[in-house]
Amino acid sequence: MLYKVEVFDRFENYYRGVVVARGIRNRAGDERLRKLLEEAVLLVRQRLDPEGYREEPRIRAWREAYRAFGVNPNKFPPSVEALVRQVLKGRDIRSVNPVVDIFNYISLKYLLPSGADDLKKVKGDLRLTYARGGEIFVPFDRDEVDPPKPGEVIYRDDEKVLCRCWNWRQGVHTKIEETTEEVAINVDGLPPLSPDEVWSITEETGRLVKEFCGGEVLCFLLYKERPEVEILREDKP
């Protein structure tokens, strides 16, 4: 399975970390992970002003990127902004399952977008690219198709859109569940984060997956000079 990033022509300082894990156990119930998530929530509340959090440089960078591909971040907020807003409004981030808890923890701790997809539900290769318009996308909270607009940054496989507006909203098709055994977790980085910081955060994410889910874990970093990588090889009989 190939993983390709096709937006470096406009976002040359973007870095995407990818954690790929196979043979994981994704059952909920680990108290240690729940505690980590609670600590990250507390850190956000101590660190950010509820009235001015959008001006935090790591959040502002994503708002500017959204505007650059023609999307209003007030209407379609980056995932990290939406998560931070929930926390600053006093809502707790509930524990779902280890993979979801890990990427929420990483997102809150480092103020960057992070999300994941069940690789067994992916068809073909994975691409972060520009929409032609009209591609298939069904969000979590609705049953009807909600296609992206032409030029929108989307994350897709050969059949459908997995996430609209870069990291705004994930689709239902590759939802992470307790039965998930193969996963790809994305770690999105824009300046002021450096490449070394994005890589370090990606490795930390991988260590957490190994600790709480087990399995075989590999980490990758995609950037302008390395826009494509093979993340999975099919097992041969």
pLDDT tens digits, the chain, 237 residues: what are they?
999 999 999 999 999 999 999 999 999 888 999 999 999 999 999 999 999 999 999 999 999 999 999 999 999 999 999 999 999 999 989 999 999 999 999 999 999 999 999 999 999 999 999 999 999 999 877 778 889 999 999 999 999 999 999 999 999 999 999 999 999 999 999 999 999 999 999 999 999 999 999 999 999 999 999 999 999 876 543
Q: What is the per-residue pLDDT for 237?
A: 37
What is the DSSP pairing of strand 114-118 with strand 126-130? unpaired
Q: What is the per-residue pLDDT for 128?
A: 98
Instruction: Choose among 210, 203, 185: nearest CA to 25.
Output: 210
Q: What is the per-residue pLDDT for 234?
A: 63
Instruction: Give kind and range of the element (H or E) at residue 39.
Output: helix 31-47
Identify any residues that bridge with 188 across adjacent strands, giving them in sequence order: 16
Residue 133 has a CB neighbour count (10 Å cut-off) of: 11
Q: Are 84 and 53 in contact (CB under 8 A)?
A: yes
Single pTM value for the model: 0.95
Give the CA diameter of the chain. 58
Q: What is the per-residue pLDDT for 83?
A: 98
Instruction: Choose among 235, 237, 232, 234: nearest CA to 2.
Output: 232
Provide φ and ψ at 177, rounded to 5°: -130, 175
Residue 114 has a CB neighbour count (10 Å cut-off) of: 27
Structural domains for the chain: 2-230 (3.50.40.10)
Q: What is the per-residue pLDDT for 235?
A: 54
Q: Are 104 and 137 in contact (CB under 8 A)?
A: no
Q: What is the per-residue pLDDT for 116?
A: 98
Q: What is the per-residue pLDDT for 143?
A: 76
Strand order through the sheet with 161-164: 169-170, 161-164, 153-156, 126-130, 2-5, 228-230
